[in-house]
Chains A and B, each alone.
Chain A
Amino acid sequence: AQSVTQLGSHVSVSEGALVLLRCNYSSSVPPYLFWYVQYPNQGLQLLLKYTSAATLVKGINGFEAEFKKSETSFHLTKPSAHMSDAAEYFCAVSFSGFQKLVFGTGTRLLVSP
Chain B
Amino acid sequence: DAMVIQNPRYQVTQFGKPVTLSCSQTLNHNVMYWYQQKSSQAPKLLFHYYDKDFNNEADTPDNFQSRRPNTSFCFLDIRSPGLGDAAMYLCATGRETQYFGPGTRLLVL
List residues of A whose CB falls within 8 A of some B CB: 32, 34, 36, 41-46, 49, 51, 90, 96-98, 100-101, 103-106
Contact = CB atoms under 8 A, between A and B. Distances in A.
A101 B101 CA distance: 16
A43 B96 contact: no
Contacts of B98: 34, 46, 101
Give the interface size bracket for B toward A.
20 to 34
B103 interface: yes
B45 A100 contact: yes
B99 A46 contact: yes
Interface of B: 4, 6, 31, 40-43, 45, 48, 50, 88, 90, 92, 95-103, 105
Nearest to B98: A101
A49 B95 CA distance: 13
Nearest to A96: B96
A97 B88 CA distance: 27
A34 B40 CA distance: 19
B105 A41 contact: yes
A90 B43 CA distance: 10
A67 B42 CA distance: 22
Chain A to chain B: the 8 pairs with minimum beta-carbon distance, closest first: A103-B42, A43-B100, A44-B100, A43-B102, A43-B103, A43-B101, A98-B95, A43-B90
A96 B95 CA distance: 10
Contact of A103 (B4, B43, B50, B95): B43
A46 B100 CA distance: 8
Contacts of B99: 46
Given A49-B97, A97-B96, A44 B43 contact: yes
Contact of A42 (B42, B45, B102): B102
